Structure 1
């Protein structure tokens, strides 16, 4: 078991040696343009292009809640586009966050991190525009990543 590390900083600038996976939550509508994805796109254009193509071609792939797309942006950094929110706004079906989908995504990220011998880096996923709470997400991160021995860092902007 590995303990969760929480630091002030930018999750798009992961502070670790070796292979790294930067994980973040995306919606299932193909929308990209608010929240953490803006920082991702500012640093690397590839994850947005890959996500939009993944959504556009969804009839022929696994795009949907619980799916993860891994996009290599540098030899040592891969971005995990995780489909963990349904829609983009709170409505009659509640907040966009789907905790079960986030958990499924993080299990996939853990498998990929083990295969790559990578650490995982993220903002407080699902707690911004998706409407989730860290009280619910934190234990999912702990159960899927930390208890599996995956070094995991959460970044809070200073």
Structure 2
């Protein structure tokens, strides 16, 4: 069985051939503005625009914990917005479009939601013939532990034959 490949670098610029999905975890309150999403937004506007519209129209779509939204940013690159955290850490005080602070109590990571989103991602990655690239999802502002997330990535993606690369942002 394959394993997760770990590299130093930027998950927004995977250097492999073929179709690629860049996966990350989003919150369920419509906040976008801290952490890995900033690197995504510097590279492409579409993932943030799609996420905000998805959240704004959530009464009539599938936006919820565990949901997956794939956004095509290049012919061979997709971004996977995975809703895997409830709220945000209090110290990460994101602001909504209207300027209102967004916050919640406790650690926002929801491992079950990440697991559900990863299962959905596996289906789509296999359909696309894509490899998946990510930072240590759920372990930044979401407050999760990689020792809990890694087995989910292995179980949902790697065991189904999806090539996964995890990026640790290098110095410099």
TM-score (norm 1): 0.97
Q: Hey, what's the Cα distance between the residues in 2 that align with 1:2 and 1:48?
A: 32
Match of 2:22 in 1: 22
**Cα deviations by residue, 1:95-120 (Å, 9 ceiling, x for unpaired):** 10000000000001100010000000
- Give SS of 2:148's match: helix
Displacement of 1:3 = 1.1
Partner of 2:71: 71
Match of 2:4 in 1: 4
Shift of 1:15: 1.9
Secondary structure in 1 matching 2:117? helix
Unaligned runs of 5+ in 2: 91-103
Instruction: Quote the Cα distance in structure 2 between the aligned partners of 1:110 and 1:16.
Output: 18
After superposition, the CA RMSD in angstroms is 0.9
| Counterpart secondary structure, 1:140 | helix
Q: Give matches, 1:110-125, under 5 Å.
A: 110-125=122-137
Contact 1:2–1:148 (8 Å) recurs in 2 = no
Runs of 4+ residues over 3 Å off in structure 1: none
CA shift, 1:39, in A, is: 0.2
Structure 1: gaps spanning 5 or more residues: none
CA distance in 2, matches of 1:151, 1:142: 10
1:107 equivalent in structure 2: 119
Residue of structure 2 in register with 1:133 after alignment: 145
CA–CA separation in structure 2 for the residues paired with 1:86 and 1:48: 18
- Report 1 or 2 for greater relative contact order, CA contacts < 8 Å, sequence distance ≥ 6: 1
Aligned length: 157
Provide the TM-score with structure 2 as the length reference: 0.89
Report which of the two structures shows the higher radius of gyration computed on alpha carbons.
2
